[in-house]
Amino acid sequence: MTEPTDTSWEQEALPILKAVLQAKREGLASVDDDYLREQVQLSSRELSQNLELLSEADYIDARSVWEGGGRDPEYDNVKLKVSGLRVLGDWPNEQVAYEALLHAFQNHIDRTDEPEIKSALQRLLDGIQNTSASVGQQTIVAILADFVQRMPLHL
């Protein structure tokens, strides 16, 4: 396995991540190595090596398939993972997500006219802030992310 270099990151791996993000934004149902090869102008070998490295580094999720007796696997269903989205600036880090959560609570507190609800929301916000001091903001954000992933899309 070839170790990544700064040059290979800038000229190969990063453009692959950007191409996967662009495909997602364009609504493509599936991203495969043929699509990526066309977008980033890499050889099959270079693309395969980079996809393997990106997968091992937990930037992408990709299914590799050995077909046609080739030396390199073919990839399909390539998707960005959270760390891939973060490196592209398309996913908030823990601090941003935590501050957004606190801001959302404060907005609801400020907009609520009912004293009991306002008080309950303030206690909940205080509890989150106090809890984050002991368990960490990252844990609070991980719980929130888990909650969001399990939410039905049709609320």
**Do 129 and 65 belong to one domain?**
no
Q: Could you tell me the residue range of the domain that residue 67 belongs to? A: 6-87
Identify whether residues 101 and 80 lie together within a single domain: no
Number of Cβ within 10 Å of residue 87's Cβ equals 18
Radius of gyration of the chain (CA): 21
Q: Which pLDDT band holds residue 155 (cuts at 50, 70, 90)?
A: very low
Total domain count, the chain: 2
Residue 36 to residue 24: CA distance in whole angstroms? 12
One domain, residues 74 and 113? no
Residues 11 and 27 in one domain: yes
- Whether the predicted pLDDT of 94 surpasses 80: no
pLDDT of residue 1: 47
Which range is most confident: 91-105, 111-125, 128-142? 111-125
First and final C-alpha spacing in the chain: 46
pLDDT digit string (tens) for 125-140? 999 988 888 888 888 8
Looking at residue 37, its pLDDT comes to 92
Position 155 in a domain:
no
Last residue of a domain, one of 46, 62, 87: 87
What's the CA gap between 98 and 79, in Å, rounded?
25
Cβ contact 81:88 at 8 Å: no
